[in-house]
Each structure stands twice: as structure tokens, then as C-alpha cells.
Structure 1
């Protein structure tokens, strides 16, 4: 199913990309993960309605709506762009017309990822290479502190991961590689994959 068809199914609008670039070298250009690739990931890595999915750099909210539609998974999208945040809220309103209760289960916050307060029920964290490794380290450290205070199984889901991200996780944290989903095109671009790191 193509992206526009999926958007129509979910009653949302997420297909247009960002124009221009951020002024800061720490924040990367937004691009939604293609639905086709999300299908591949979640065919082998299903979520549950009890999970709480946090998408850092959520843009217009595609992942949160997709996960809720498939699995009933609630969560929060964190977005620094006020324009994208407003579009995510509009999408939530539209999505909620077809999915009763979704407005209570899907939230969006406008702000920096490193300012997001990790909640005890948050257990799945998605990163499509949204920012520099320095910010990634800050966010992961907050996740680790939360898991220390409220012990639980925590997964980090990386799409198109940078070597900086994976080196940091494998050398300086207790996260271990749990699952790899290699995607078409990986023979030309090794970063075309999902990596799931787990903290048990």
C-alpha cells in the first residue's frame, strides 16, 4: 500500500516532506518513515496495546497513528517544530473521528527531545536519526535513569541508524542488540535497516 493510500485509510495527512533545513547542526531534517518499511518492521516485531511508544522527531505523527491502528498502542510524539506539531494535532483530530478514544491514547508534545520527561509506562522509543549523537546520548541517559527508578523492559528502535548511535549504545550502555530487520537496498546502503536494542 502506498503512503497516500495509508494516509487515506488512517484519515491523516503525513506525506509531504519538510522544505529547508534546521539552522542547528544538532537537529536533522524531518522525513517520515515509509509505511512499506514500517510494515516490514512490525511484521516481525509486533507491539502490544499495553506498550507506550515514544517517537522522537515525530513530525506529523505518522508512526503513532500507524502503531495505534495496528496494535492499539498508545504513546507520545515529540516534535520541536511548532508547524509540524500543529499538523500532528490536526491529524489526531481527524484520526479520532474514525478511532474512538484515540485522542486519549495518542499525545503530542512540542519541544526538544532532551526536555521530554520519560514516564514510567514509556517502554518503546523510536529514532529515525533525528538529531546528533550528543542529544541522543542525553535522551538515552534519561531513559536509563527512568528504567532504573521504574524497572521494566525497554526497547530502542532505530531506523537508518548512524554508527555514532550504535557505537554509543554498544560501548557505553547496557542496551544489547535484540533484533535487526534488513531492508531492500541494504546491499547499496548498509544503514537501510531497523535495529532494536533492548534493556532487560
Structure 2
């Protein structure tokens, strides 16, 4: 399925990668998760309408609209780039216009990921390598502090996961691998996969 198909279906504009680089080496360039990869992921990994999914480094909101379209789950996009955040909000306006859907379940916040205030209802977190291991560790610690305060089932969804992320999760946290979703290019590139981690109490 080509990239334009879903953008047209959802009445949004999310194509294109970030030109240039961020000022900080801790934040990586924006690149949306391919729709073809999302199709494969959500053929096996299901969400419920009661889930609340946080996408760190959401860019223009592709994942958010795709998830809401499929599952009607609440979606929260966190984006530090003001221009991308503005485009995500414009996409929400376009999406609602076409869907004739005045939902209050699609949210975008323009802030640094580590400054996001965890909501007690957040229970799924998505990462497509948006930042350095140092920032990732801060966010995982924020999640764990939130869970201490509000006990709930937590899962992380990692696309194209970095070795640093995996080493940290497996050796320094109580997360354990629940599911692996292999993508067609995996034979040529072992990072072409989704890993789902579950917090174990």
C-alpha cells in the first residue's frame, strides 16, 4: 500500500522527512513510520478503545491518526518541533472535517519528551528511535514513577529499536519482551521490526 493512500484516506499530510538536523545531538531527525510497517504491526498487535497511546516524537501525527482510525483509542502526540506540531494540529482539523468526527481523543503537545507530564491513563508508549539513550532513560524513569503512583498495565512499542534502548530495558528495568513483529526487510536489516515490551511487577 503506498504512502499516499492512507494520507488521502485520513485526509492528512504526513509524508516527507525532516530536512536538516536538530540543534541537539540528543534528538534525532523526524521520519514517519511507514504505513506498510504499521499495517503489519496492527494485524497482530491490537489496541482497545480504552487504551491511551503516547507517541514520543510524533512529527505530523501519522501514527496518532492511524491508531485512532483503527481502534478509536485515545492518542497523544509529543513533539518538540513547533512546525511539526502545528502541522499535526492542522492534520487533526482536516481529519475531523472528513471523518465528521468531533472526537476529543486526539491530542498533541509541543514540548520536550522528558517534560511531558504523564497522565494516569497513559498505558501504551510508542518510540521510533526519536532521541538518545539518555533521553530514553529519563522517559522510562518518568513512566515508572507514574506507575508507582497510579498502578496500571504498561507496554512499550519500539520500532527500529536501537541496541542502547534494548540493553537498558533488559538489564536495568522490569520490562520484558512480550512480542516481536518482524518486517519484510528484516533479512537485510535486523532493525526492521517492532518489539513490544511489557512492564512486569
Q: TM-score, normalization: structure 2? A: 0.97
Alpha-carbon distance in 2 for matches of 1:98, 1:169: 40
Alpha-carbon distance in 2 for matches of 1:189, 1:10: 30
Contact (CA 8 Å) 1:48, 1:72: kept in 2 or not? Answer: yes
Q: TM-score, normalization: structure 1? A: 0.98
Cα displacement string for residues 90-136 of structure 1 (whole angstroms, at most 9, x for unaligned residues): 0000011133133x111100010000011000001000000000000
Counterpart of 1:142 in structure 2 is 142
Alpha-carbon distance in 1 for matches of 2:185, 2:3: 19
1:67-106 paired onto structure 2 within 5 Å: 67-99=67-99, 100-102=101-103, 104-106=104-106
Counterpart of 1:194 in structure 2 is 194
The gaps in structure 2 that reach 5 residues or longer are none
Contact (CA 8 Å) 1:178, 1:197: kept in 2 or not? Answer: yes
Deviation, 1:147, is 1.0
Alpha-carbon distance in 2 for matches of 1:127, 1:2: 22
Alpha-carbon distance in 2 for matches of 1:53, 1:193: 19
Alpha-carbon distance in 2 for matches of 1:2, 1:76: 25
Alpha-carbon distance in 2 for matches of 1:47, 1:9: 21
Cα displacement string for residues 23-76 of structure 1 (whole angstroms, at most 9, x for unaligned residues): 211000100001110010010001110000100000000000000000001121
Contact (CA 8 Å) 1:75, 1:122: kept in 2 or not? Answer: no
Counterpart of 2:57 in structure 1 is 57
Structure 1 residue 7 corresponds to structure 2 residue 4: no
Contact (CA 8 Å) 1:57, 1:113: kept in 2 or not? Answer: yes
Counterpart of 1:173 in structure 2 is 173
After the TM superposition, which segments of 4 or more aligned residues of structure 1 sit over 4 Å from their partners? none
Contact (CA 8 Å) 1:114, 1:139: kept in 2 or not? Answer: yes
Number of positions where the alignment pairs a residue of Structure 1 with one of Structure 2: 199
Counterpart of 2:37 in structure 1 is 37
Alpha-carbon distance in 1 for matches of 2:107, 2:98: 17
